[in-house]
Amino acid sequence: MFFVLRHGQTDWNAQMRLQGSTDIPLNDTGREQARVAARFLADQGITRIVASPLIRAYETANIVGRALDLPVITDGRLTERHFGIFEGLTIDEVEGHRREMLAHMNPDLDIDGKHYPHNAERLPAVIERVRAAVEDHASGETIPLFVCHGIPFRAIARVYLGEMYSSPNACPVRYARQGDTWTMTGLDPDNPPLHGAFFKGPTTMGRI
């Protein structure tokens, strides 16, 4: 069993900007979201908190860690995907500039053939590094909480469920194994994960 939590809101999230590897802090809304998530993660038996070193995830993890009386360790394999020259642009800006940016884009960077900048991180590489981090920290009797980002959240769902789930900010979920099958359960009924079949938002960040 293990738990996953996407970081709380940042100003760039509110502006619908691609953050990627850009280190943007939580805003006040994001800090309150982390405090709410901590209440749902209490008494779940979590024994370790592992976070992306990017400040928005690390700060979220520390808010939860104080509530659970656990230290936070970081693992760079949980960082968000690097979006290259798209970082800092809004979803609308990316869509609006796609035609003029064609010279900078590579359709082979994604599993589904979506176009991304030549200097973006390959999506299969993101999935592999996130998978390795989860497997390393979830071994033995440890019950970890992974505090990460939108694309790593989707990567974990793809690896363990074979499906794509998107995460609102500070959405806490539990993964549990039943025989050879993994299940994911949202812990906050007011902030559940979004299944790909029902997610109608922008997919510029990568469908996996």
Annotated catalytic residues are: 7, 80
Long-range contacts of 65-71, Cβ-Cβ distance < 8 Å, separation of 24 or more = 66/38, 67/35, 67/38, 67/39, 67/41, 67/42, 68/38, 68/41, 68/42, 70/46
User: 129, 138, 193, 198: which is closest to 165 by C-alpha?
Assistant: 193
Helix (H) or strand (E) holding 127: helix 123-137
Q: Which residues of 115-146 are buried (b: 16+ CB within 10 A; e: fewer)?
A: bbbeebbbbeebbebbbebbeebbeeeebbbb
